[in-house]
Amino acid sequence: MLAYEPAVRLAAFAGMLAAMLLWETLAPRRAPAAGNGVRRLNNLAMVAVSTLVVRLLFPVLAVGFAADMAQRGIGLFNAIAVPDWLAVLLAIMLLDLAIYGQHRLFHRVPWFWRLHRVHHADPAFDTTTALRFHPLEIMLSMVIKLAVVALLGAPPLAVLVFEVILNATAMFNHGNVSLPPRLEQPLRWLLVTPDLHRVHHSVHGDEMNRNFGFNLSVWDRLFGSFAGQPRDGHIAMQIGLHDFREPRAQWLDRLLLQPFRQRRS
């Protein structure tokens, strides 16, 4: 897998995106809003810009950085003797916990929130919302991720598997889809389902500050940030932020400038 990292990542991304877009088209959870096509295209343009910026500014990405840390013997799992399979499993879980903590931090610190609110300002909720992050947030997230990888001494394979899983589960749990109740109810005890994460995109502040997990739902349960259902119901609930709902606000240029604009409320 490590030898073919770019191909593995690209195939996983393209395959999951295509599958989710097809699922949303055939069986949407909520009726698509007017202007949905333009909004989706601009969300996809945002991920293209963010990917380009990261590739230009970071000489090494997380998997290559993990390999370098392993060669230097830096980090927890490079300093203690544990079986390879256990190091990979623990590293994946701890990286997921770090993403949960980062997500809560981005809701708490005002300037971090200005960057992160670009994601929350999407007035709809579908798999392209999972790709709508400001390039500055992506850069900051990369710095945090590299620091966590160095601290853990995470095995390169664990970092690659984690990034593939995180990317896929983010597109899944942002999907405008639903699972049968007999499957969704047991699954949400371990994983973040679309119905769980949709609560996090509510216009209500108390709901927006719940369900921070992207992959494992256990962190929200463990740290008291879990909410089972939106108060207005999944069909009637309003998504996004009140100040950035107009169609023009969903264009790429406005999304890039949004962190520097003041909210009206």
Question: What is the per-residue pLDDT for 57?
Answer: 86
Instruction: Give the burial class of 24: count Cβ atoms within 10 A of its Cβ; 0-12 exposed, 13-18 middle, 19 or more buried.
Output: buried
214 pLDDT above the threshold of 60:
yes
Question: What is the per-residue pLDDT for 221?
Answer: 96
20-64 per-position pLDDT tens digit:
999 999 999 999 887 899 999 999 999 999 999 998 888 778 999
Residue ranges of the domains in the chain? 33-259
Question: What is the per-residue pLDDT for 264?
Answer: 61
230-242 per-position pLDDT tens digit:
999 999 999 999 9
Question: What is the per-residue pLDDT for 265?
Answer: 53
CA 158 – CA 63 distance, rounded (Å): 9
17 pLDDT above the threshold of 90:
yes
pTM: 0.93
| Residue 27 near residue 177 (C-beta atoms within 8 A) | yes
91-109 per-position pLDDT tens digit:
999 999 999 999 999 999 9
| Residue 141 near residue 61 (C-beta atoms within 8 A) | no
